Amino acid sequence: MNSFSELSETRASIYWWFSTLFASELNDEQLQAYCGEEGRDFLQGLADNGLSEEVGALQQVLQQLAAQDQPRLELAADFTQCFLVDQKSSALPYASVYLSDDGLLYQQPHLDMLDLLQSEGLAVNEGMNEPADHLAIMLDYLGNLVMQGVNSSSDAEQGMLLEKQLSFIEQQLMSWVPAFVERTQQLKQTFFYPKVAMLLLAYLRLDQTFLSD
């Protein structure tokens, strides 16, 4: 596996990791991982690559969480408060809310995502029952785009793929994720997920820079 493939895998896995975080509450197994060696290594890896500040904030919270009575429940409540209530209490993770005139759900960004998914031969898992412009879905999709680099050989092909990814990041994500992340910073009674959001934004910016070169 060449370095481009390796890199693609790494980048894709990070996007998928983010997707998981925004998709639903963490279960016991996943939470364990964060507190264990694997989790620490992974986070450290991210920190070492230019995200030390954001990762540091996250690590701090994780430490505090470990001392809590029912960490999984606390995180679940945090997740709910951050993303699942209404736009008064939460930061809804849908592009439509930030991009459409009325701030409604299921608007053009959702339709656009459906088209994009379909063009790659993908669709949203039916059981999920969420609009296609859910942040987690978009990140999952992005991961898949990145993964296409794993089997690429030629420079030209690689260039094209990177171009596609950059285009997606700039047009479909950066058009609203900053506003979304800013919203998470205003939320009350939250502690974990706003920091994840900040980390995501930082990572996206990093990746954007990388892709632009």
Partner 1 sequence: MSINRRNFLKGILASSAASMVGPSLLVRSAQAAQNDPGIWRITGSHWGAFRARVYGGKVVEVKPFEMDSHPTDMLNGIEGIIYSPSRVRYPMVRYDWYKNRHNSDTSQRGDNRFIRVTWDEALDLFHEELERIQTQYGPWALHAGQTGWRQTGQLHSCGNHMQRAVAMHGNFIKKVGDYSTGAGQTILPYVLGSTEVYAQGTSWPLILENSKLIVLWANDPVKNLQVGWACETHESYRYLDQLKQKVADGEIRVVSIDPVRSKTQKFLGCEQQYINPQTDVAMMLAIAHTLYTEKLHDQKFLDTYCLGFERFVPYLLGESEDKVEKTPEWAAEICGVEAEVIRELARAMAADRTQLLFGWCIQRQQHGEQPYWMGAVLAAMLGQIGQPGGGVSYAHHYSSIGVPSSGASGPGAFPRNPDQGQKPIHDNDDFNGYSKTIPVARWVDAILEPGKKIDYNGGKVTLPNLKMMVISGCNPWHHHQDRNRMKQAFRNLETVVTIDFNWTASCRFSDIVLPACTQFERNDIDQYGSYSTRGILAMQRLVDPLFQSRTDFHIFTDLCRRFGKHKEYSRGKGEMEWLRELYEGCRDANKGKFAMPEFAQFWDEGYVDFGAGKPWTRHAAFRDDPELKALGTPSGFIEIFSRKIDRYGYDNCKGHPMWFEKSERSHGGPGSDRFPLWLQSCHPDQRLHSQMCESEAYRSTYSVRGREPIYLSPEDARRRGIRDGDLVRVYNDRGQLLAGARVTDDFATGVVRIHEGAWYGPMDESIGALDTYGDPNTVTQDLGASKLSQATSANTCLVEIEKYVGEVPPVTAFGGPVEVR
Q: Which residues ranging from 30 to 59 are in contact with partner 1 (CB under 8 A)?
A: 30, 32-34, 37-39, 41-42, 45
Enumerate residues 121-140 that contact partner 1 by CB under 8 A.
Answer: 121-126, 128-130, 136-137, 140
**Residue 16 or residue 204: which is nearer to partner 1 going by CB?**
16
- Which residues make Cβ contacts (< 8 Å) with residue 45, sequence separation at least 6? none
* Binding of partner 1 by 168 (CB under 8 A): no
**In the structure encoding, which two tokens stand for residue 167, read together?**
């285009």
The answer to whether the beta carbons of residues 164 and 83 sit under 8 Å apart is no
User: In whole angstroms, what is the distance from residue 2 CA to residue 189 CA?
Assistant: 46
* Binding of partner 1 by 23 (CB under 8 A): yes
Minimum CB–partner distance for residue 132 and partner 1 (Å): 10
**Interacting residue with partner 1 among 48, 66, 103, 212 (CB under 8 A):** 103
Q: Among 63, 72, 76, which residue's Cα sits nearest to residue 35?
A: 63
Backbone φ, ψ for residue 134 (5° rounding): -70, 135
Minimum CB–partner distance for residue 212 and partner 1 (Å): 23
**Residue 66 or residue 123: which is nearer to partner 1 going by CB?**
123
Q: Per CB under 8 A, which region of 55-63, 117-125, 157-165, 193-201 contacts partner 1?
A: 117-125
Enumerate residues 141-160 that contact partner 1 by CB under 8 A.
Answer: 141, 144, 147-148, 150
Minimum CB–partner distance for residue 199 and partner 1 (Å): 13
Question: Torsion-angle region of residue 36: left (phi > 0), alpha (psi -120 to 50) or beta?
Answer: beta
Measure the CA dihedral 163/166/171/177, to 10°: 170
37-to-32, 34, 41, 42, 49 alpha-carbon distances in Å: 10, 8, 6, 9, 18
* Binding of partner 1 by 199 (CB under 8 A): no
- Interface with partner 1 (CB under 8 A), residue total 78
